Chains A and B, each alone.
Chain A
């Protein structure tokens, strides 16, 4: 193999892992919320972008250390989600067919945030990238990769592992999965369903925020990423099976690698077409997804 082949291969693999972990994080955030509250969060891409832009403001405009800015943003997601939960989300917990109400509600939030971003950040700049946490470049054979991107990749993978462990082994995770499976039975067994709803909304959004910050460390962000991310996360959730965390993980990684490979040969639009096509097929012929729980 010549050097250039190795470079292309390594670049595809690292991009695939990077995008895959980010996609998985966001999709897990969406699927946790859908699985428990039955809320399809169409605003996930806007939350993702909000986190990236806010971390940019905190580190570039206010001069905080990027790591501090990242932690601050992820911390802020907790009161932010809690407030949304109290103001809007809570009202629909007992409404039948609430998924469509939630869908429209989050589309409304999407539109509000789109408008706010376009008159603020859209005016200030085209591209937003966070200053690196770690400087320098590592060589994997002939292929150079920024340490910063490696760090973002590592943190994203660790977060995914932690999330998986939390949902599988921790008391809260078990309660959450009980509510996923049968909320009446879970309530009878003494699970506080409303508290679980609130926790999963906060946890889901926290994960989406973390995904946004990590993405902004690895790549420059522009405002159009929000809608692309929303659609991609929905595609991952539907294909993996709504509410299935394993499905979101696996399909998210597959999507990341697909995007990395397709981007070499064709435009990202082709990748988007292929996701959307796959999602349509799954919706029509296997609505419970590939990894139905």
Chain B
């Protein structure tokens, strides 16, 4: 079922903004770069939103999957592949790895799954540091070449920004289509109660793994394009804090809404660049925002769930406040 055409006007505004902003900022490379990073963050937070907002899983290995894709794409380019097939193979491979790493979600719920994914993220980061001959260890890989174009030349500047804008737009539209399809409703049913969803005849295993595949796809395409765009990656680029920051964009904007995470990414991704000389303060800012979101804004600025999660639980689960 396609939603009515009138419901697509926010998408039109978003498409206009996504393509317009890099064009408007093309005079100043630094601001255009911030816009590009923001667009990659929109793609990432949209993928995280599918998992966290709609399927109710909170993976902390999102950054790790993006990193696997980035490292494998660059590795393939370094052995002589051209960029686009390398990106295809790298991101598809990373998405399948994402599905495999999502398997624990079939057994573990809530905190235990998140902890498990945090462990996986730590293992991935340690792997990036440990396999020095593949990843150059803690030093990282610098001077990553820009993607080549079929007709010769290299993708750079405004053209690169527009590719990122196109991907962010495709990501948001894809999420909208998924959410409005029966698949999206099955995912929401799993989020609300996966045991009940199973008794209703929903194949929970297949839906969860599909959500992981799509979510990891967003992560890995973003990762593959992030590496040449910034020109430098290290294990620190894809560590647990990066996963946490993407989670923050979703939670801050409002999980389980299409536009909340987009707004979250647009508001939060530029912060480290706008701090400039005080760049190192960004961890403190993001950390305080995480605490603020958890304590003050559990539903995010876009309102989040229509049913407040706390009120939705049966009263019997509440422990009696002791005096």
Give the B-binding residues of A (Cβ under 8 A): 40, 88, 91, 93-97, 99-101, 103-105, 107-116, 118-119, 183-184, 187, 191-194, 227, 231, 234-235, 238, 269, 272-273, 276-277, 279-280, 283-284, 287
Contacts and interface: CB of A to CB of B under 8 A. Distances in A.
Contact of B280 (A119, A227, A269): A119
Classify chain B's interface size. 35 or more
B295 A194 contact: no
What DSSP secondary structure best describes chain B's contact surface? Answer: helix
Given A94-B319, A115-B280, A283 B108 contact: yes
Contact of A187 (B58, B116, B317, B322): B322
17 contacts: A95-B310, A96-B313, A100-B114, A105-B290, A107-B290, A108-B290, A111-B283, A112-B283, A114-B287, A115-B280, A115-B281, A193-B322, A238-B115, A269-B129, A276-B126, A283-B108, A284-B108
The interface centre, meaning the residue of B295, B298, B310, B313 with most chain A CB atoms within 10 A of its CB, is: B295
Given A104-B294, A194-B323, A284-B104, A94 B283 contact: no
Contacts of B126: 269, 272-273, 276
A234 B118 CA distance: 11
B295 A91 contact: yes
Contacts of A107: 244, 290
B7 interface: no
B10 interface: no
B300 to A, nearest CB: 13
The interface centre, meaning the residue of A99, A111, A234 with most chain B CB atoms within 10 A of its CB, is: A111
Interface in B261-303: 280-291, 294-295, 298
B104 A283 contact: yes
A283 B319 contact: no
Given A91-B295, A187-B322, A269-B130, A108 B287 contact: yes
Given A88-B295, A194-B322, 20 more contacts: A91-B295, A96-B313, A96-B317, A96-B318, A99-B110, A104-B247, A113-B287, A114-B283, A118-B280, A184-B320, A187-B319, A187-B322, A194-B321, A234-B115, A234-B119, A273-B123, A273-B126, A283-B104, A283-B108, A284-B108
B156 interface: no
A287 B298 CA distance: 28
B123 A276 contact: yes
Given A112-B283, A287-B112, A280 B290 contact: no
Interface of B: 58, 104, 107-108, 110-112, 114-116, 119-120, 122-123, 126, 129-130, 240-241, 244, 247, 251, 280-291, 294-295, 298, 310, 313, 317-323
Contact of A231 (B122, B281, B286): B122
Contacts of B285: 115
A105 B111 contact: no
What DSSP secondary structure best describes chain A's contact surface? Answer: helix
A192 B322 contact: yes
The interface centre, meaning the residue of A88, A96, A109, A187 with most chain B CB atoms within 10 A of its CB, is: A96
Contact of A40 (B111, B129, B281, B320): B111
**Which 4 residue pairs spanning A and B have beta carbons closest together?**
A115-B283, A108-B290, A111-B287, A112-B287
Given A108-B291, A193-B322, A284 B110 contact: no
B241 A111 contact: yes
B291 A105 contact: yes
Contacts of B317: 96
Contacts of B313: 96-97
Contact of B282 (A96, A115, A277, A283): A115
A257 to B, nearest CB: 21
Contacts of A227: 122, 240
B287 A110 contact: yes
Contacts of A105: 290-291, 294-295
A225 to B, nearest CB: 14
Contacts of B241: 111, 114
A109 B287 contact: yes
A235 B122 CA distance: 12
The interface centre, meaning the residue of B58, B107, B111, B247 with most chain A CB atoms within 10 A of its CB, is: B111
A248 B264 CA distance: 39
B322 A115 contact: no
A287 B287 CA distance: 29
Contacts of A40: 111, 115
